[in-house]
Structure 1
Protein backbone atom coordinates (compact mmCIF):
# COMPACT_ATOMS: atom_id res chain seq x y z
CA UNK A 1 0.00 0.00 0.00
CA UNK A 2 2.82 2.37 0.93
CA UNK A 3 4.54 1.69 -2.41
CA UNK A 4 1.31 2.47 -4.26
CA UNK A 5 0.90 5.78 -2.40
CA UNK A 6 4.53 6.69 -3.11
CA UNK A 7 4.07 5.93 -6.78
CA UNK A 8 0.87 8.03 -6.80
CA UNK A 9 2.62 11.01 -5.23
CA UNK A 10 5.47 10.75 -7.74
CA UNK A 11 2.97 10.61 -10.62
CA UNK A 12 1.10 13.65 -9.29
CA UNK A 13 4.34 15.59 -8.85
CA UNK A 14 5.43 14.74 -12.39
CA UNK A 15 2.03 15.80 -13.74
CA UNK A 16 2.26 19.10 -11.89
CA UNK A 17 5.75 19.67 -13.26
CA UNK A 18 4.53 18.95 -16.80
CA UNK A 19 1.57 21.29 -16.32
CA UNK A 20 3.74 24.23 -15.24
CA UNK A 21 4.31 26.46 -18.29
CA UNK A 22 7.87 26.81 -19.49
CA UNK A 23 9.11 30.26 -20.54
CA UNK A 24 10.34 30.89 -24.06
CA UNK A 25 13.74 32.60 -24.39
CA UNK A 26 13.75 35.70 -26.58
CA UNK A 27 16.49 38.14 -27.59
CA UNK A 28 15.80 41.88 -27.64
CA UNK A 29 18.12 44.28 -29.49
CA UNK A 30 19.93 46.87 -27.38
CA UNK A 31 21.97 49.83 -28.55
CA UNK A 32 25.02 47.89 -27.40
CA UNK A 33 24.42 44.15 -27.37
CA UNK A 34 21.45 41.90 -26.79
CA UNK A 35 19.00 41.75 -23.90
CA UNK A 36 18.03 38.16 -23.12
CA UNK A 37 14.52 37.69 -21.75
CA UNK A 38 12.09 34.95 -20.75
CA UNK A 39 8.55 35.03 -22.13
CA UNK A 40 5.41 33.42 -20.73
CA UNK A 41 2.63 33.68 -23.31
CA UNK A 42 -0.92 32.28 -23.42
CA UNK A 43 -1.72 29.91 -26.25
CA UNK A 44 -3.27 31.46 -29.31
CA UNK A 45 -2.77 34.47 -31.53
CA UNK A 46 -3.85 37.14 -29.06
CA UNK A 47 -3.67 40.06 -28.79
CA UNK A 48 -2.88 39.66 -25.09
CA UNK A 49 -2.39 42.22 -22.34
CA UNK A 50 1.31 42.02 -21.49
CA UNK A 51 3.37 42.68 -18.40
CA UNK A 52 7.05 43.63 -18.49
CA UNK A 53 8.37 42.23 -15.20
CA UNK A 54 11.62 43.47 -13.64
CA UNK A 55 13.65 41.25 -11.31
CA UNK A 56 15.35 42.41 -8.13
CA UNK A 57 19.07 42.70 -7.32
CA UNK A 58 19.39 38.92 -6.95
CA UNK A 59 18.84 38.45 -10.69
CA UNK A 60 16.21 36.67 -12.75
CA UNK A 61 17.44 33.09 -12.69
CA UNK A 62 20.07 30.69 -11.44
CA UNK A 63 22.23 27.91 -12.86
CA UNK A 64 19.27 25.52 -12.66
CA UNK A 65 16.32 27.89 -13.27
CA UNK A 66 15.89 30.38 -16.10
CA UNK A 67 13.33 32.08 -13.85
CA UNK A 68 13.56 31.80 -10.07
CA UNK A 69 10.56 30.26 -8.26
CA UNK A 70 9.56 33.59 -6.70
CA UNK A 71 9.18 35.15 -10.14
CA UNK A 72 7.80 32.03 -11.78
CA UNK A 73 5.01 32.06 -9.20
CA UNK A 74 3.98 35.56 -10.29
CA UNK A 75 4.39 34.72 -13.99
CA UNK A 76 2.07 31.73 -13.69
CA UNK A 77 -0.46 33.78 -11.72
CA UNK A 78 -0.48 36.53 -14.34
CA UNK A 79 -0.58 33.98 -17.15
CA UNK A 80 -3.69 32.33 -15.69
CA UNK A 81 -5.36 35.74 -15.74
CA UNK A 82 -4.73 35.97 -19.49
CA UNK A 83 -1.58 38.08 -19.52
CA UNK A 84 1.66 37.48 -21.36
CA UNK A 85 4.66 38.15 -19.10
CA UNK A 86 8.11 39.13 -20.35
CA UNK A 87 11.11 39.10 -17.99
CA UNK A 88 14.17 40.97 -19.33
CA UNK A 89 17.36 39.68 -17.68
CA UNK A 90 19.35 42.83 -16.97
CA UNK A 91 22.23 41.04 -15.22
CA UNK A 92 22.55 37.72 -17.03
CA UNK A 93 22.51 39.52 -20.38
CA UNK A 94 25.64 41.37 -19.27
CA UNK A 95 27.24 38.23 -17.82
CA UNK A 96 26.74 39.46 -14.26
CA UNK A 97 25.58 37.55 -11.22
CA UNK A 98 23.58 38.92 -8.27
CA UNK A 99 24.21 42.61 -7.61
CA UNK A 100 22.76 42.96 -4.10
CA UNK A 101 26.13 43.21 -2.35
CA UNK A 102 28.18 44.79 -5.13
CA UNK A 103 29.61 48.13 -4.04
CA UNK A 104 30.14 49.54 -7.55
CA UNK A 105 27.09 48.55 -9.59
CA UNK A 106 27.67 48.64 -13.34
CA UNK A 107 23.97 48.15 -14.10
CA UNK A 108 22.10 51.03 -12.49
CA UNK A 109 18.36 51.21 -11.94
CA UNK A 110 18.09 54.71 -13.36
CA UNK A 111 20.30 54.08 -16.40
CA UNK A 112 20.84 50.59 -17.88
CA UNK A 113 17.66 49.13 -16.43
CA UNK A 114 15.54 52.00 -17.76
CA UNK A 115 17.15 51.43 -21.16
CA UNK A 116 16.22 47.75 -20.86
CA UNK A 117 12.60 48.72 -20.18
CA UNK A 118 12.54 50.97 -23.25
CA UNK A 119 14.08 48.27 -25.47
CA UNK A 120 11.63 45.66 -24.18
CA UNK A 121 8.65 47.92 -24.82
CA UNK A 122 9.89 48.72 -28.34
CA UNK A 123 10.25 44.98 -29.07
CA UNK A 124 6.75 44.26 -27.77
CA UNK A 125 5.22 46.98 -29.92
CA UNK A 126 6.33 44.98 -32.99
CA UNK A 127 4.73 41.69 -31.89
CA UNK A 128 1.35 40.83 -33.40
CA UNK A 129 0.22 38.94 -30.28
CA UNK A 130 0.57 42.00 -28.02
CA UNK A 131 -2.37 44.25 -27.13
CA UNK A 132 -0.30 47.39 -27.64
CA UNK A 133 -2.57 49.57 -25.47
CA UNK A 134 -2.42 47.11 -22.56
CA UNK A 135 1.29 46.80 -21.78
CA UNK A 136 2.06 47.29 -18.09
CA UNK A 137 5.15 47.32 -15.86
CA UNK A 138 5.83 45.38 -12.66
CA UNK A 139 9.03 45.39 -10.63
CA UNK A 140 10.47 44.04 -7.40
CA UNK A 141 13.02 45.83 -5.17
CA UNK A 142 15.80 47.05 -7.53
CA UNK A 143 13.50 46.33 -10.46
CA UNK A 144 10.80 48.43 -8.77
CA UNK A 145 13.29 51.27 -8.34
CA UNK A 146 14.04 51.05 -12.07
CA UNK A 147 10.30 51.17 -12.72
CA UNK A 148 10.01 54.44 -10.76
CA UNK A 149 12.59 55.98 -13.10
CA UNK A 150 10.99 54.48 -16.21
CA UNK A 151 7.53 55.99 -15.57
CA UNK A 152 8.78 59.53 -14.90
CA UNK A 153 7.53 62.05 -17.49
CA UNK A 154 11.14 62.67 -18.58
CA UNK A 155 11.50 59.01 -19.55
CA UNK A 156 8.53 58.88 -21.91
CA UNK A 157 9.06 57.26 -25.31
CA UNK A 158 9.09 59.59 -28.29
CA UNK A 159 7.29 57.20 -30.63
CA UNK A 160 3.57 57.20 -31.39
CA UNK A 161 2.84 53.84 -29.75
CA UNK A 162 0.60 53.71 -26.67
CA UNK A 163 2.33 54.32 -23.34
CA UNK A 164 2.29 51.83 -20.46
CA UNK A 165 -1.21 51.24 -19.18
CA UNK A 166 -0.18 50.79 -15.54
CA UNK A 167 2.81 50.20 -13.27
CA UNK A 168 3.20 48.25 -10.00
CA UNK A 169 6.28 48.57 -7.80
CA UNK A 170 6.94 46.06 -5.00
CA UNK A 171 9.03 47.56 -2.17
CA UNK A 172 11.25 49.94 -4.18
CA UNK A 173 13.91 52.13 -2.62
CA UNK A 174 12.07 55.45 -2.82
CA UNK A 175 14.62 57.63 -1.04
CA UNK A 176 16.28 59.17 -4.11
CA UNK A 177 12.99 59.55 -6.00
CA UNK A 178 11.31 61.21 -3.00
CA UNK A 179 14.14 63.72 -2.75
CA UNK A 180 13.94 64.56 -6.45
CA UNK A 181 10.22 65.34 -6.52
CA UNK A 182 9.12 62.18 -8.33
CA UNK A 183 6.01 62.05 -10.47
CA UNK A 184 4.62 59.52 -12.93
CA UNK A 185 3.01 59.73 -16.35
CA UNK A 186 1.09 56.42 -15.95
CA UNK A 187 -1.06 55.09 -13.07
CA UNK A 188 1.44 53.68 -10.57
CA UNK A 189 0.85 51.49 -7.52
CA UNK A 190 3.51 51.08 -4.81
CA UNK A 191 3.24 48.03 -2.51
CA UNK A 192 5.41 47.83 0.60
CA UNK A 193 5.40 46.32 4.08
CA UNK A 194 5.10 48.63 7.08
CA UNK A 195 8.10 46.95 8.74
CA UNK A 196 10.31 46.87 5.62
CA UNK A 197 13.80 47.73 6.89
CA UNK A 198 15.51 47.13 3.53
CA UNK A 199 13.54 49.79 1.67
CA UNK A 200 11.89 52.78 3.37
CA UNK A 201 8.09 52.92 3.75
CA UNK A 202 8.19 56.57 4.97
CA UNK A 203 10.17 57.60 1.88
CA UNK A 204 7.68 55.82 -0.39
CA UNK A 205 4.78 57.58 1.35
CA UNK A 206 6.54 60.92 0.95
CA UNK A 207 7.25 60.19 -2.72
CA UNK A 208 3.65 59.23 -3.57
CA UNK A 209 2.02 61.97 -1.51
CA UNK A 210 4.38 64.54 -3.02
CA UNK A 211 3.27 63.56 -6.53
CA UNK A 212 -0.41 64.32 -5.90
CA UNK A 213 -1.70 67.16 -8.03
CA UNK A 214 1.14 67.13 -10.55
CA UNK A 215 1.18 63.52 -11.69
CA UNK A 216 -0.84 60.70 -13.11
CA UNK A 217 -2.58 58.62 -10.47
CA UNK A 218 -0.14 57.32 -7.85
CA UNK A 219 -1.20 55.16 -4.92
CA UNK A 220 0.63 53.41 -2.11
CA UNK A 221 -0.50 50.39 -0.07
CA UNK A 222 1.40 49.69 3.14
CA UNK A 223 0.75 46.23 4.59
CA UNK A 224 0.81 46.19 8.42
CA UNK A 225 3.51 44.01 9.98
CA UNK A 226 4.99 42.94 6.64
CA UNK A 227 8.70 42.95 5.78
CA UNK A 228 10.69 42.99 2.53
CA UNK A 229 9.86 40.09 0.15
CA UNK A 230 6.46 39.64 1.84
CA UNK A 231 5.00 38.24 -1.39
CA UNK A 232 7.67 35.54 -1.79
CA UNK A 233 6.19 32.14 -0.90
CA UNK A 234 7.52 29.83 1.82
CA UNK A 235 10.25 32.16 3.12
CA UNK A 236 10.50 32.28 6.93
CA UNK A 237 11.33 35.71 8.29
CA UNK A 238 15.10 36.07 8.69
CA UNK A 239 17.84 38.68 8.88
CA UNK A 240 19.44 39.29 5.50
CA UNK A 241 22.73 40.41 7.05
CA UNK A 242 23.28 37.03 8.70
CA UNK A 243 23.26 35.23 5.36
CA UNK A 244 26.08 34.53 2.93
CA UNK A 245 23.57 34.59 0.07
CA UNK A 246 24.91 36.96 -2.59
CA UNK A 247 21.35 37.35 -3.89
CA UNK A 248 20.13 38.84 -0.58
CA UNK A 249 20.45 42.46 0.60
CA UNK A 250 23.21 43.29 3.05
CA UNK A 251 20.84 44.46 5.76
CA UNK A 252 17.25 44.25 6.97
CA UNK A 253 14.81 41.37 7.24
CA UNK A 254 13.12 39.24 4.58
CA UNK A 255 10.18 36.90 4.75
CA UNK A 256 6.71 35.85 3.68
CA UNK A 257 3.66 37.51 5.16
CA UNK A 258 0.70 35.35 4.18
CA UNK A 259 -1.90 38.07 4.64
CA UNK A 260 0.07 40.74 2.78
CA UNK A 261 0.91 38.23 0.03
CA UNK A 262 -2.78 37.42 -0.50
CA UNK A 263 -3.81 41.07 -0.38
CA UNK A 264 -1.10 42.09 -2.84
CA UNK A 265 -2.30 39.46 -5.31
CA UNK A 266 -5.76 41.03 -5.20
CA UNK A 267 -4.34 44.55 -5.44
CA UNK A 268 -2.24 43.62 -8.50
CA UNK A 269 -5.21 42.00 -10.26
CA UNK A 270 -7.39 45.04 -9.62
CA UNK A 271 -4.76 47.55 -10.75
CA UNK A 272 -4.05 45.69 -13.98
CA UNK A 273 -7.77 45.38 -14.71
CA UNK A 274 -8.34 49.14 -14.50
Structure 2
Protein backbone atom coordinates (compact mmCIF):
# COMPACT_ATOMS: atom_id res chain seq x y z
CA UNK A 1 0.00 0.00 0.00
CA UNK A 2 1.18 3.43 -0.80
CA UNK A 3 1.47 5.78 2.15
CA UNK A 4 0.77 9.07 0.49
CA UNK A 5 0.97 12.07 2.79
CA UNK A 6 -1.76 14.65 2.45
CA UNK A 7 -1.84 17.99 4.24
CA UNK A 8 -5.10 18.42 6.15
CA UNK A 9 -7.48 21.14 5.06
CA UNK A 10 -8.33 22.88 8.31
CA UNK A 11 -11.02 25.40 7.44
CA UNK A 12 -13.45 25.06 4.54
CA UNK A 13 -15.68 27.14 2.89
CA UNK A 14 -18.93 28.49 -1.00
CA UNK A 15 -20.54 29.42 -10.21
CA UNK A 16 -21.08 33.27 -16.84
CA UNK A 17 -23.35 33.37 -18.34
CA UNK A 18 -25.22 30.21 -17.51
CA UNK A 19 -26.05 28.00 -20.44
CA UNK A 20 -29.74 27.25 -20.84
CA UNK A 21 -29.65 23.76 -22.26
CA UNK A 22 -31.82 23.06 -25.29
CA UNK A 23 -34.23 20.23 -24.58
CA UNK A 24 -33.97 17.65 -27.32
CA UNK A 25 -36.49 14.81 -27.55
CA UNK A 26 -35.98 12.70 -24.44
CA UNK A 27 -33.79 9.67 -24.69
CA UNK A 28 -34.95 6.42 -23.16
CA UNK A 29 -33.81 6.22 -19.57
CA UNK A 30 -30.90 3.94 -18.89
CA UNK A 31 -31.84 1.22 -16.42
CA UNK A 32 -29.69 0.49 -13.42
CA UNK A 33 -27.43 -2.28 -14.58
CA UNK A 34 -26.39 -5.53 -12.98
CA UNK A 35 -24.99 -4.69 -9.57
CA UNK A 36 -21.24 -4.72 -9.24
CA UNK A 37 -19.66 -5.80 -6.00
CA UNK A 38 -19.06 -2.88 -3.67
CA UNK A 39 -16.54 -3.20 -0.87
CA UNK A 40 -17.53 -1.62 2.44
CA UNK A 41 -14.57 0.33 3.77
CA UNK A 42 -13.91 2.69 6.65
CA UNK A 43 -11.69 5.75 6.78
CA UNK A 44 -11.32 8.93 8.82
CA UNK A 45 -12.81 12.27 7.99
CA UNK A 46 -10.46 15.19 8.33
CA UNK A 47 -12.86 16.88 10.75
CA UNK A 48 -11.69 17.72 14.26
CA UNK A 49 -12.93 14.51 15.95
CA UNK A 50 -11.54 12.45 13.04
CA UNK A 51 -14.91 10.77 12.58
CA UNK A 52 -14.70 7.24 11.25
CA UNK A 53 -16.78 7.20 8.09
CA UNK A 54 -18.19 4.36 6.02
CA UNK A 55 -17.63 4.20 2.29
CA UNK A 56 -18.46 1.87 -0.57
CA UNK A 57 -15.58 1.21 -2.92
CA UNK A 58 -16.15 0.16 -6.52
CA UNK A 59 -13.19 -0.93 -8.63
CA UNK A 60 -12.85 -0.25 -12.35
CA UNK A 61 -14.17 -2.79 -14.81
CA UNK A 62 -11.21 -4.72 -16.17
CA UNK A 63 -8.92 -3.58 -13.36
CA UNK A 64 -6.53 -0.66 -13.17
CA UNK A 65 -3.78 0.01 -15.69
CA UNK A 66 -0.13 -0.33 -14.78
CA UNK A 67 0.11 3.42 -14.24
CA UNK A 68 -2.98 3.50 -12.07
CA UNK A 69 -6.58 4.49 -12.74
CA UNK A 70 -8.43 7.73 -11.99
CA UNK A 71 -11.00 7.86 -9.22
CA UNK A 72 -14.18 9.72 -8.32
CA UNK A 73 -15.52 10.48 -4.84
CA UNK A 74 -19.34 10.60 -4.73
CA UNK A 75 -21.09 12.77 -2.14
CA UNK A 76 -24.74 11.95 -1.39
CA UNK A 77 -27.64 14.35 -0.93
CA UNK A 78 -29.79 15.15 2.10
CA UNK A 79 -31.45 11.70 2.00
CA UNK A 80 -28.18 9.87 2.66
CA UNK A 81 -26.68 6.95 0.75
CA UNK A 82 -29.38 4.37 1.45
CA UNK A 83 -32.67 3.70 -0.29
CA UNK A 84 -35.89 4.77 1.38
CA UNK A 85 -36.78 1.06 1.17
CA UNK A 86 -33.73 -0.04 3.19
CA UNK A 87 -35.89 -0.99 6.20
CA UNK A 88 -33.00 -0.70 8.62
CA UNK A 89 -30.52 -2.57 6.43
CA UNK A 90 -27.69 -0.12 5.78
CA UNK A 91 -25.30 -1.86 3.44
CA UNK A 92 -24.08 -1.93 -0.16
CA UNK A 93 -27.21 -3.82 -1.12
CA UNK A 94 -29.43 -0.88 -0.13
CA UNK A 95 -27.54 2.00 -1.75
CA UNK A 96 -29.79 4.35 -3.67
CA UNK A 97 -30.37 3.70 -7.35
CA UNK A 98 -28.80 7.04 -8.25
CA UNK A 99 -25.55 6.39 -6.41
CA UNK A 100 -25.27 2.86 -7.72
CA UNK A 101 -25.94 4.06 -11.25
CA UNK A 102 -23.16 6.64 -11.09
CA UNK A 103 -20.77 4.20 -9.44
CA UNK A 104 -21.28 1.77 -12.28
CA UNK A 105 -21.19 4.56 -14.86
CA UNK A 106 -17.69 5.51 -13.75
CA UNK A 107 -16.32 2.02 -13.18
CA UNK A 108 -17.35 1.03 -16.69
CA UNK A 109 -15.15 3.91 -17.86
CA UNK A 110 -12.17 2.66 -15.92
CA UNK A 111 -12.51 4.72 -12.74
CA UNK A 112 -12.39 3.76 -9.09
CA UNK A 113 -15.39 5.09 -7.18
CA UNK A 114 -15.78 5.76 -3.47
CA UNK A 115 -19.27 6.58 -2.20
CA UNK A 116 -19.00 8.45 1.12
CA UNK A 117 -21.61 8.00 3.85
CA UNK A 118 -21.43 11.23 5.84
CA UNK A 119 -24.69 10.73 7.73
CA UNK A 120 -24.88 7.12 8.92
CA UNK A 121 -21.70 7.15 11.03
CA UNK A 122 -22.93 10.32 12.71
CA UNK A 123 -26.24 8.75 13.66
CA UNK A 124 -28.48 9.76 10.74
CA UNK A 125 -28.54 6.80 8.34
CA UNK A 126 -31.92 7.77 6.87
CA UNK A 127 -30.83 11.29 6.11
CA UNK A 128 -33.11 14.30 6.36
CA UNK A 129 -36.45 15.24 4.85
CA UNK A 130 -36.96 18.23 2.59
CA UNK A 131 -37.64 21.43 4.49
CA UNK A 132 -35.54 20.47 7.53
CA UNK A 133 -32.42 22.44 6.65
CA UNK A 134 -32.55 24.87 9.57
CA UNK A 135 -32.77 22.07 12.15
CA UNK A 136 -29.99 19.80 10.90
CA UNK A 137 -27.10 19.23 13.31
CA UNK A 138 -23.81 21.07 12.76
CA UNK A 139 -21.83 17.86 12.46
CA UNK A 140 -23.31 17.26 8.98
CA UNK A 141 -22.86 20.83 7.72
CA UNK A 142 -22.21 20.78 3.97
CA UNK A 143 -20.00 23.89 3.99
CA UNK A 144 -17.77 23.32 7.02
CA UNK A 145 -17.79 19.55 7.71
CA UNK A 146 -18.76 17.45 4.70
CA UNK A 147 -15.90 18.85 2.58
CA UNK A 148 -13.56 17.40 5.21
CA UNK A 149 -15.23 14.02 4.61
CA UNK A 150 -14.42 14.40 0.91
CA UNK A 151 -10.76 15.03 1.72
CA UNK A 152 -10.70 12.02 4.01
CA UNK A 153 -12.06 9.96 1.12
CA UNK A 154 -9.41 11.31 -1.21
CA UNK A 155 -6.68 10.43 1.26
CA UNK A 156 -8.08 6.89 1.53
CA UNK A 157 -8.12 6.50 -2.26
CA UNK A 158 -4.53 7.68 -2.44
CA UNK A 159 -3.55 4.78 -0.18
CA UNK A 160 -4.76 2.24 -2.75
CA UNK A 161 -2.13 0.79 -5.06
CA UNK A 162 -4.34 0.90 -8.14
CA UNK A 163 -5.34 4.58 -7.90
CA UNK A 164 -3.49 7.31 -9.75
CA UNK A 165 -3.34 9.63 -6.77
CA UNK A 166 -3.09 12.83 -8.81
CA UNK A 167 -6.23 12.01 -10.84
CA UNK A 168 -9.14 12.14 -8.38
CA UNK A 169 -12.39 13.99 -9.05
CA UNK A 170 -15.27 14.96 -6.77
CA UNK A 171 -18.96 14.66 -7.68
CA UNK A 172 -21.93 15.52 -5.49
CA UNK A 173 -25.71 15.64 -5.54
CA UNK A 174 -27.87 18.29 -3.85
CA UNK A 175 -26.46 18.72 -0.33
CA UNK A 176 -23.42 16.74 -1.46
CA UNK A 177 -23.11 19.05 -4.47
CA UNK A 178 -22.94 22.03 -2.11
CA UNK A 179 -20.21 20.17 -0.22
CA UNK A 180 -18.43 19.66 -3.55
CA UNK A 181 -18.47 23.39 -4.29
CA UNK A 182 -17.22 24.14 -0.80
CA UNK A 183 -14.49 21.51 -0.98
CA UNK A 184 -13.10 22.97 -4.22
CA UNK A 185 -12.99 26.56 -2.97
CA UNK A 186 -9.56 28.12 -3.04
CA UNK A 187 -9.33 28.79 0.68
CA UNK A 188 -7.28 25.72 1.59
CA UNK A 189 -3.72 25.64 2.94
CA UNK A 190 -0.97 24.39 0.69
CA UNK A 191 -0.82 23.90 -3.06
CA UNK A 192 -4.29 22.50 -3.68
CA UNK A 193 -3.77 22.49 -7.45
CA UNK A 194 -1.21 19.78 -6.74
CA UNK A 195 -2.64 18.19 -3.59
CA UNK A 196 -6.37 18.57 -4.12
CA UNK A 197 -9.07 17.25 -6.42
CA UNK A 198 -8.46 17.66 -10.13
CA UNK A 199 -12.06 18.67 -10.95
CA UNK A 200 -15.57 18.77 -9.53
CA UNK A 201 -19.15 18.17 -10.67
CA UNK A 202 -22.10 19.55 -8.70
CA UNK A 203 -25.64 18.41 -9.59
CA UNK A 204 -28.43 20.69 -8.30
CA UNK A 205 -26.53 22.22 -5.38
CA UNK A 206 -27.74 24.86 -3.00
CA UNK A 207 -25.43 27.67 -4.11
CA UNK A 208 -25.94 30.06 -1.21
CA UNK A 209 -23.28 28.18 0.75
CA UNK A 210 -24.13 30.06 3.93
CA UNK A 211 -22.68 33.26 2.43
CA UNK A 212 -19.20 31.83 2.81
CA UNK A 213 -18.26 33.17 -0.62
CA UNK A 214 -20.06 36.48 -0.61
CA UNK A 215 -16.86 38.07 -1.91
CA UNK A 216 -16.58 35.61 -4.76
CA UNK A 217 -16.19 31.90 -5.38
CA UNK A 218 -12.66 30.90 -6.45
CA UNK A 219 -12.26 27.16 -7.07
CA UNK A 220 -8.73 25.84 -7.33
CA UNK A 221 -9.81 23.36 -10.05
CA UNK A 222 -12.44 23.31 -12.85
CA UNK A 223 -16.04 22.86 -11.70
CA UNK A 224 -19.24 22.17 -13.63
CA UNK A 225 -22.66 22.86 -12.10
CA UNK A 226 -26.00 21.48 -13.34
CA UNK A 227 -29.49 22.50 -12.21
CA UNK A 228 -33.06 22.54 -13.56
CA UNK A 229 -35.38 25.52 -13.86
CA UNK A 230 -38.18 23.58 -12.11
CA UNK A 231 -36.03 22.64 -9.10
CA UNK A 232 -38.29 22.67 -6.07
CA UNK A 233 -35.55 22.52 -3.41
CA UNK A 234 -32.75 24.85 -4.48
CA UNK A 235 -32.61 28.14 -6.36
CA UNK A 236 -31.29 28.07 -9.93
CA UNK A 237 -30.94 31.85 -9.68
CA UNK A 238 -28.61 31.50 -6.71
CA UNK A 239 -26.38 29.27 -8.82
CA UNK A 240 -26.53 31.76 -11.70
CA UNK A 241 -25.32 34.53 -9.40
CA UNK A 242 -22.50 32.43 -7.95
CA UNK A 243 -21.30 31.26 -11.36
CA UNK A 244 -21.70 34.61 -13.10
CA UNK A 245 -19.56 36.36 -10.52
CA UNK A 246 -16.93 33.62 -10.58
CA UNK A 247 -16.71 33.57 -14.35
CA UNK A 248 -16.49 37.35 -14.50
CA UNK A 249 -13.37 36.99 -12.35
CA UNK A 250 -11.96 34.39 -14.74
CA UNK A 251 -12.62 31.35 -12.58
CA UNK A 252 -13.02 27.90 -14.24
CA UNK A 253 -16.69 27.36 -13.38
CA UNK A 254 -19.48 26.50 -15.80
CA UNK A 255 -23.23 26.30 -15.24
CA UNK A 256 -25.78 24.38 -17.31
CA UNK A 257 -29.45 25.05 -16.64
CA UNK A 258 -32.03 22.54 -17.91
CA UNK A 259 -35.43 23.91 -18.84
CA UNK A 260 -38.20 22.14 -16.91
CA UNK A 261 -35.97 19.69 -15.04
CA UNK A 262 -36.63 19.16 -11.32
CA UNK A 263 -34.47 18.47 -8.29
CA UNK A 264 -32.81 15.08 -8.64
CA UNK A 265 -33.62 14.94 -12.35
CA UNK A 266 -30.97 12.26 -12.94
CA UNK A 267 -32.61 9.68 -10.66
CA UNK A 268 -32.81 6.58 -12.89
CA UNK A 269 -36.25 5.57 -11.61
CA UNK A 270 -38.98 5.15 -14.22
CA UNK A 271 -41.19 7.75 -12.60
CA UNK A 272 -38.50 10.43 -12.68
CA UNK A 273 -37.36 9.59 -16.20
CA UNK A 274 -40.95 9.50 -17.49
CA UNK A 275 -40.87 13.31 -17.36
CA UNK A 276 -39.47 14.42 -20.75
CA UNK A 277 -37.50 17.36 -19.33
CA UNK A 278 -35.83 15.11 -16.75
CA UNK A 279 -35.01 12.43 -19.32
CA UNK A 280 -33.48 14.97 -21.69
CA UNK A 281 -31.46 16.57 -18.89
CA UNK A 282 -30.30 13.17 -17.68
CA UNK A 283 -29.06 12.10 -21.10
CA UNK A 284 -27.25 15.38 -21.56
CA UNK A 285 -25.62 15.47 -18.13
CA UNK A 286 -24.34 11.93 -18.50
CA UNK A 287 -22.66 12.87 -21.76
CA UNK A 288 -21.23 16.11 -20.42
CA UNK A 289 -19.82 14.85 -17.15
CA UNK A 290 -18.32 11.79 -18.82
CA UNK A 291 -16.40 13.95 -21.27
CA UNK A 292 -15.49 16.43 -18.53
CA UNK A 293 -13.92 13.96 -16.13
CA UNK A 294 -12.25 11.95 -18.88
CA UNK A 295 -10.51 15.15 -19.97
CA UNK A 296 -9.79 16.59 -16.53
CA UNK A 297 -8.60 13.33 -14.96
CA UNK A 298 -6.43 12.28 -17.87
CA UNK A 299 -2.69 11.80 -17.21
CA UNK A 300 -0.68 15.00 -17.32
Matches within 5 A, 1:213-224: 213-214=248-249, 216-224=251-259
Among 287, 295, 298, the alignment partner of 1:266 is: 287
Is 1:92 the equivalent of 2:124?
no
Residues 259 and 277 of structure 2 are in contact (CA less than 8 Å); yes or no, is this contact kept in structure 1? Answer: no
Which position in structure 1 is the counterpart of 2:137?
Answer: 105
Cα gap change, 1:160 to 1:149, in 2 (>3 Å):
closer
Name the SS for the 1:210 alignment partner.
Answer: helix
Matches within 5 A, 1:38-187: 38-42=56-60, 43-46=62-65, 47-61=68-82, 62=86, 63-64=88-89, 66=92, 67-97=95-125, 98-100=127-129, 101=132, 103-106=135-138, 107-155=140-188, 162-176=195-209, 179-187=214-222
State the structure with more CA Rg.
1
Query: In 1, Cα distance between the equivalents of 2:226 and 2:276?
Result: 15
Q: Which has the higher contact order (CA 8 A, sep 6+)?
A: 2
Query: In 2, Cα distance between the equivalents of 1:48 and 1:79?
Result: 10
User: What TM-score does the superposition give when structure 2 sets the normalisation length?
Assistant: 0.74
Residues 41 and 83 of structure 1 are in contact (CA less than 8 Å); yes or no, is this contact kept in structure 2? Answer: yes
Cα RMSD, aligned residues only: 2.5
- Give CA-to-partner distance per residue, 1:8-46, whole Å, 9 cap, x none: xxxxxxxx98x4202101111234331110011124344
Residue 179 of structure 1 and its aligned partner are, at CA, apart by: 3.6
Residue 95 of structure 1 and its aligned partner are, at CA, apart by: 2.1
Farther off after superposition, 153-162 or 208-217? 153-162
Residues 235 and 255 of structure 1 are in contact (CA less than 8 Å); yes or no, is this contact kept in structure 2? Answer: no
- Give CA-to-partner distance per residue, 1:177-204, whole Å, 9 cap, x none: 5645222111000011122121111110
Farther off after superposition, 190-199 or 257-266? 190-199
Which position in structure 2 is the counterpart of 1:9?
Answer: none
Which position in structure 1 is the counterpart of 2:228?
Answer: 193
Residues 171 and 191 of structure 1 are in contact (CA less than 8 Å); yes or no, is this contact kept in structure 2? Answer: yes
Cα gap change, 1:122 to 1:156, in 2 (>3 Å):
farther
Residues 236 and 256 of structure 1 are in contact (CA less than 8 Å); yes or no, is this contact kept in structure 2? Answer: no
Which position in structure 1 is the counterpart of 2:35?
Answer: 20
Query: In 1, Cα distance between the equivalents of 2:284 and 2:116?
Result: 26
User: What TM-score does the superposition give when structure 1 sets the normalisation length?
Assistant: 0.80
Which position in structure 2 is the counterpart of 1:209?
Answer: 244
Residues 28 and 120 of structure 1 are in contact (CA less than 8 Å); yes or no, is this contact kept in structure 2? Answer: yes
Farther off after superposition, 108-117 or 184-193? 108-117
